Every structure is written in structure tokens, then in C-alpha cells.
């Protein structure tokens, strides 16, 4: 399985890019989190981290995100800030789809594959619980996890649907859609997480089929002239550009530019304006596309 993934990466990237990806896999990732501004302010949270001698770095492109540069003398999951839902542990790459989508108050927003709720809770926080967010999760166990996190984070503006998002009625209509699609996770491999079970031809074909179905549905329920973010934690074009190209044959949409911070390491993509983040000490491998429905 490991060899299958490595061969896919070699087939899709130049040798220097391939080496950059492998080096990124081998890095010990920094722990990163965001402050939950629905329940706490920065001063309260940062004071606790200082009390336990943590060394933090503020993320220059997100004023509520932090990197743990040095662990403190009390585990982060035992801090009051974590237990009370004042912070949410989340990768920096995972925060980007919501920042690109830019949700606004009073909008109707669909989160198509919502559990465990990282981006759902982030959206609710950004709009201060003043948007109508519909979060879909078909797996019952994962739906329970989503509801737990919504409650812990103080989210009150989300309706949870336990269903297959591809079955949403086409009569629904949303101002914005976030589709952080199920994927192989090829961007998330680390020293401690080397799960290669997803990487075989049949699994990837099944995933692509699901991704195409989800994106097709997302565009059908998105209002014309409105925007959608498609993202995955994969760096394989099969799950990213190829999905977009296939869906574009059926539904007309255009790509919008994304202004990502220049410090974010990128890999090349075959579609202009899309972004693929290279695995590194700070970032998971991740793909982003910002679409507008014509």
C-alpha cells in the first residue's frame, strides 16, 4: 500500500516536489489550535497557556489561530481552555476553507460533510452564531461527535442532518456551500500516522466517485452567482483537479482567486487559481478550490 502511494506521487510530481512531500511527511508536526471567540477572549486563553509555560506563535494570516512551538508542563487536553471549549485543536490547513469561503451573517450555508465539526464550528464562530448553517453527516456515530463538538463550542446556529449529502433535495437553495470532501488523506501522513490502507486503485476510484457526486450536488443546491469551496486533505490530482474537471463537464462554474499567505508551502496544480498545500512542519497537505456558479 505504501509503495502504491509513493508511485502515485512520483507519477504526479517532479522529483524535487516529490522529495519535498516526503520530507513533509517525516516532520514532527506542530500542534495548532484556534481560540473559540464564541466563548472566550484571547486574554483568558493566552494567560492560561503562559501560566503553564507554553511557547506560542500567532499565525499571521489568522488572528485567532496559534502554533504551539514548545509544549508546557500540563497537557493541552487537560487545560481549562480545552475542557471548556475555549479552544479547538485544528490543523492550520483545515482552517483555510472557511477563511476562503468567508461566511457572512444572515447567509444560508451548507456544510456537506461536517463531522467532527472543525469547520462547522469555525463558521459559526466567524458569524457569531448569526448565519443559518446546515451541517450534513450520514454516519450516526460521527453525527453524535459533531453534535458534541457543536455543544461544547457554544454553537446555536446549526441544523444537523443525519443523511447522505448526495441525497439532499435539489429544491434546497444555499448562499454558500463548504464541501470538505471525504478523501484518502494523502496529505495527512506523518511519522505517527502512517495509515496506507486507503491507497489502492479500487478505494481511490470509489472515493473519486463519491467526490464527484458530492460536488455535483453541491453545485445544484448553490444559488447562481454564489460561491462554494471544494477542499480535501489529499494531494493527489485524482481527488482534486480530476474531480473538478469531470463535474465542470456537467455544470458551469468558474474558479475564483485565493490570496493565501506567501509563507504557506504550495505544490503545483493543473488548474489555475486552485491551491495545493505541501505537507510540512506547520501544514497538512491540502487542496482548495474556490468556485462560483454561473
Q: List the catalytic residues.
A: 233
Kindly provide the residue ranges of all beta strands, DSSP E only, lying in the chain, ordered along the sequence.
31-35, 55-58, 65-70, 87-89, 108-111, 132-136, 158-161, 174-180, 222-232, 253-256, 266-267, 275-277, 286-293
The x, y and z cell numbers of residue 257, run together, are 482567486
The x, y and z cell numbers of residue 140, run together, are 450516526
Q: Tell me the HSE value of 82 on the side-chain side, using a 13 A CA sphere.
A: 11
β-bridge pairing 55-58 and 286-293 = unpaired
Which of the 8 DSSP states describes residue 239?
G
| Cβ neighbours of residue 220 closer than 8 Å, sequence gap 6 or more | 170, 251
| Residue 98: its H or E element | helix 92-101
Q: Which residues does residue 161 pair with via DSSP β-bridges, in sequence order?
A: 136
The x, y and z cell numbers of residue 12, run together, are 504526479
Dist CA 91 CA 109 (whole Å): 22
Q: Which of 121, 166, 119, 115 is nearest to 143 (CA)?
A: 115
Q: Which of 110, 137, 113, 61 is nearest to 231 (CA)?
A: 113
Dist CA 78 CA 83 (whole Å): 7
Amino acid at each position: 500500500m505504501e509503495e502504491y502511494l509513493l508511485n502515485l506521487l512520483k507519477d504526479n510530481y517532479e522529483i524535487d516536489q516529490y522529495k519535498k512531500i516526503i520530507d513533509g511527511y517525516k516532520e514532527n508536526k506542530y500542534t495548532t489550535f484556534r481560540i473559540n471567540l464564541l466563548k472566550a477572549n484571547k486574554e483568558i486563553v493566552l494567560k492560561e497557556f503562559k501560566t503553564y509555560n507554553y511557547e506560542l506563535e500567532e499565525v499571521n494570516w489568522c488572528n485567532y489561530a496559534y502554533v504551539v512551538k514548545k509544549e508546557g508542563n500540563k497537557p493541552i487536553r487537560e487545560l481549562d481552555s480545552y475542557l471548556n471549549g475555549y479552544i479547538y485543536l485544528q490543523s492550520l490547513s483545515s482552517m483555510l476553507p472557511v477563511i476562503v469561503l468567508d461566511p457572512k451573517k444572515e447567509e444560508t450555508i451548507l456544510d456537506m460533510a461536517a463531522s467532527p465539526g472543525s469547520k462547522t464550528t469555525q463558521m459559526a464562530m466567524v458569524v457569531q452564531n448569526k448565519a443559518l448553517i446546515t451541517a450534513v453527516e450520514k454516519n450516526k456515530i460521527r453525527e453524535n461527535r459533531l453534535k458534541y463538538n457543536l455543544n461544547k463550542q457554544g454553537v446555536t446556529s446549526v441544523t444537523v442532518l443525519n443523511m447522505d449529502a448526495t441525497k439532499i433535495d435539489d429544491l434546497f437553495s444555499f448562499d454558500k456551500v463548504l464541501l470538505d470532501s471525504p478523501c484518502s488523506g494523502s496529505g495527512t501522513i506523518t511519522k505517527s500516522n502512517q495509515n496506507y490502507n486507503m491507497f489502492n486503485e479500487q478505494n481511490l476510484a470509489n472515493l473519486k466517485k463519491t467526490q464527484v457526486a458530492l460536488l455535483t450536488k453541491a453545485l445544484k443546491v448553490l444559488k447562481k452567482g454564489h460561491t462554494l469551496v471544494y477542499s480535501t486533505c489529499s494531494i493527489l490530482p485524482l481527488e482534486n483537479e480530476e474531480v473538478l474537471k469531470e463535474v465542470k463537464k456537467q455544470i458551469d462554474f468558474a474558479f475564483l482567486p485565493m490570496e493565501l499567505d506567501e509563507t504557506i508551502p504550495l505544490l503545483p496544480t493543473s488548474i489555475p487559481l486552485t491551491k495545493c498545500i505541501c505537507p510540512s512542519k506547520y501544514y497538512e497537505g491540502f487542496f482548495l478550490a474556490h468556485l462560483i456558479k454561473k
